């Protein structure tokens, strides 16, 4: 049911017409309760540019080495682990590596190359 404006009488009439069509009856004196409401707004807003990663560029140091499975041929490999917060935009690292973030862990394999884009995303070029 769509209502062009917040007019109680118009909303009730539209609801009762839909209820009559779908269920074959209405309750003229019944109470109507809104259980869910969907609102669509339309208008013009200026385009917002995403914030760029402003962390300083410095060579990150791994926080540890951890055994990680590379593939069936190479098996387990000593793999450097980096903190995601230590990687700035423009950095490129050669795999294998792990990056630990607060909500995920990123793995780049032995032949992969990981680059941090201007917005802090991890882009992996597969080897």
Q: Are residues 71 and 118 in the same domain?
A: yes
Total of domains in the chain: 2
The SS3 assignment for 105 reads strand
Domain with 33, as residue range(s), is 1-43
Sign of CA dihedral 82, 116, 59, 127: positive
Residue 74 located in a structural domain = yes
What SS3 string covers 35-65?
CCCCCCCCCCCCCCCCCCCCCCCCCCCCCEE
Query: Is there a single domain that holds both residue 38 and residue 70?
Result: no
Does 117 lie in the same domain as 76? yes
Q: 124 - beta bridge partners?
A: 114
| 49 assigned to some structural domain | no
Tens digits of pLDDT across the chain (127 residues)? 565 567 888 888 888 999 999 999 999 888 888 888 888 888 898 988 877 777 777 788 999 999 999 999 999 999 999 999 899 888 999 999 999 999 999 999 999 999 999 888 999 999 8
**What's the confidence (pLDDT) of residue 22?**
94
pLDDT score recorded for residue 109: 95
- Please give the torsion angle defined by the CA atoms of residues 106, 112, 116 and 121, in that order, rounded to the nearest 10 degrees: -50
pLDDT for 106 equals 96
Residue 109 lies in a domain: yes
Q: Within this chain, do residues 23 and 75 fall inside the same structural domain, yes or no?
A: no
Q: Are residues 19 and 68 in the same domain?
A: no
Q: Using DSSP bridges, classify how beta strands 113-116 and 122-125 pair: parallel, antiparallel or unpaired.
A: antiparallel
């Amino acid at each position: 049911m769509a209502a062009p404006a917040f007019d109680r009488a118009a909303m009730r009439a539209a609801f009762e017409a839909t209820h009559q069509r779908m269920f074959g009856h209405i309750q003229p004196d019944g109470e109507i309760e809104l259980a869910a409401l969907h609102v669509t707004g339309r208008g013009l807003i200026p385009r917002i540019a995403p914030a760029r990663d402003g962390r300083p560029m410095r060579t990150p140091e791994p926080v540890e080495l951890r055994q990680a499975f590379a593939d069936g041929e190479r098996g387990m490999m000593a793999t450097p682990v980096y903190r995601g917060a230590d990687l700035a935009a423009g950095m490129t690292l050669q795999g294998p590596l792990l990056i630990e973030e607060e909500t995920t862990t990123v793995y780049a394999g032995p032949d992969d190359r990981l680059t941090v884009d201007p917005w802090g995303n991890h882009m992996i070029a597969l080897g």
